[in-house]
């Protein structure tokens, strides 16, 4: 199976947002462990997650590190809009800008995953 897991939850929004991100990463780990082809992308306010998840004391840090190789990147334009560009860069997460929309520095193309026939889930 081919999956795209897109994390858009905002880490400033408490337990529900943490639950969404944690479950997204858990699905990525489970799917990869079953031999699936998995891409994880941070978009929208979710671009704030990399800076949080790289903290050693974060409750999802170990899970984040376990799926680190599956993380394709964070939407560049979203990171700029949500003030997360420095955090994304500091976490060494690539910035994705393959959807060149006017007035933006480029966004992560989510359509690409649909065109690749990936099951696309948004958390």
Domains in the chain with CATH codes: 2-122 (3.40.1260.10)
CA pair distance 91, 102, nearest whole angstrom: 27
Say what the pTM is: 0.96
Q: What tens-digit pLDDT sequence spans the chain (123 residues)?
A: 999 999 999 999 999 999 999 999 999 999 999 999 999 999 999 999 999 999 999 999 999 999 999 999 999 999 999 999 999 999 999 999 999 999 999 999 999 999 999 999 999
Pairing of strands 95-96, 2-7: unpaired
């Amino acid at each position: 199976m081919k999956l795209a897991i897109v994390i858009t939850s905002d880490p400033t929004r408490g337990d529900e947002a943490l639950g969404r991100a944690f479950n997204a990463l858990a699905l990525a780990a489970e799917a990869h462990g079953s031999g699936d082809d998995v891409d994880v992308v941070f978009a929208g306010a979710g671009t704030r997650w990399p800076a949080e998840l790289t903290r050693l004391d974060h409750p999802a840090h170990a899970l984040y590190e376990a799926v680190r190789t599956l993380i394709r990147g964070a939407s560049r334009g979203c990171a700029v809009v949500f003030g997360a560009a420095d955090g994304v860069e500091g976490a060494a997460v690539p910035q994705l800008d393959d959807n060149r929309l006017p007035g933006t520095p480029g966004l992560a193309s989510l359509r690409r995953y649909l065109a690749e026939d990936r099951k696309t889930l948004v958390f």
